[in-house]
Amino acid sequence: MDTEMKKDNSGKWIAPLPLKEDRPRLPNNRKQALDRAKSLDINLRRDPVKKGHFLIFMQTLIDAGHAEPALPLDPAVERWYLPLFGVYHPQKKDRIRGVFDSSSSVNGVSLNSVLMSGPDLMNSLLGVLLRFRKERVAIMVDIEQMFYCFLVQHDRRRYLRFLWHENNDFEKPLIEYQMNVHVFGNSPSPAVATYGLRRTALEAKDKYGEDVMLC
């Protein structure tokens, strides 16, 4: 992370997808992903409301540049397809989140099994509670879609392929897309995002002061 995390010309962070060095080659799981995509398709067609929510979620991903149609690859090139499903927040029944199943396995191998998860960089609950007692006012913030704030290296995006309807149109066939950002479901995403947040604060402290490092 220290050596490979960098910013592109637009100022966005590009963070590595940390594959283990000593790992098995990922098998071709396209058939399994296609079966899961068809199952999701049937489920959504039975529930028009859920289908509408899912289309909005996918369109948001595409419009933001987080996902895009994937270019063809040579058959010999290693790649991975992420099955997709949707979950609702208990307090947000009008909005669904698409989750990529990085733990789905073929022959005992999954994407998460070949990724390094990284250290736990989250602030400890004890530390948070103690800081709440230090001053008169406490401030809490939430970064929307934090994982999506960090791009994946171009040559690693082939491990983040998934199947969805062309042009986000249910009447069109399933085609191959790829995620361009770190996704919910990947084991290293929490460490990548937290590390990236701290790198951002470190770069910003000279301009905005030491307080930005408290994140």
Checking if the pLDDT of 13 tops 70, the result is yes
Classify residue 128: in a domain, yes or no.
no
Classify residue 11: in a domain, yes or no.
no
Assign 11 a pLDDT band (cuts: 50, 70, 90): confident
Classify residue 201: in a domain, yes or no.
yes
Checking if the pLDDT of 209 tops 80, the result is no
pLDDT tens per residue across span 27-69: 999 999 999 999 999 999 999 999 999 999 999 999 999 999 9
% residues pLDDT > 70 (the chain): 97
Assign 94 a pLDDT band (cuts: 50, 70, 90): confident
- Give residue 185's pLDDT: 86
Classify residue 16: in a domain, yes or no.
no
Classify residue 213: in a domain, yes or no.
no
Average of per-residue pLDDT across 173-199: 92
Classify residue 103: in a domain, yes or no.
yes
Classify residue 111: in a domain, yes or no.
yes
pTM to 2 decimals? 0.86
Q: How many domains does the chain have?
A: 1
pLDDT tens per residue across span 114-164: 999 887 777 788 888 888 888 888 877 778 788 899 999 999 999 999 999
- Give residue 212's pLDDT: 63
Classify residue 130: in a domain, yes or no.
no
- Give residue 188's pLDDT: 92
**Full domain range(s) for residue 75:** 21-119+143-205
Phi, psi for residue 192 in degrees, rounded to 5: -60, -50
Name the nearest CA neighbour of 101 among 89, 84, 117, 126.
84
- Give residue 122's pLDDT: 78
Phi, psi for residue 174 in degrees, rounded to 5: -75, 130
More confident residue, 146 or 181: 181
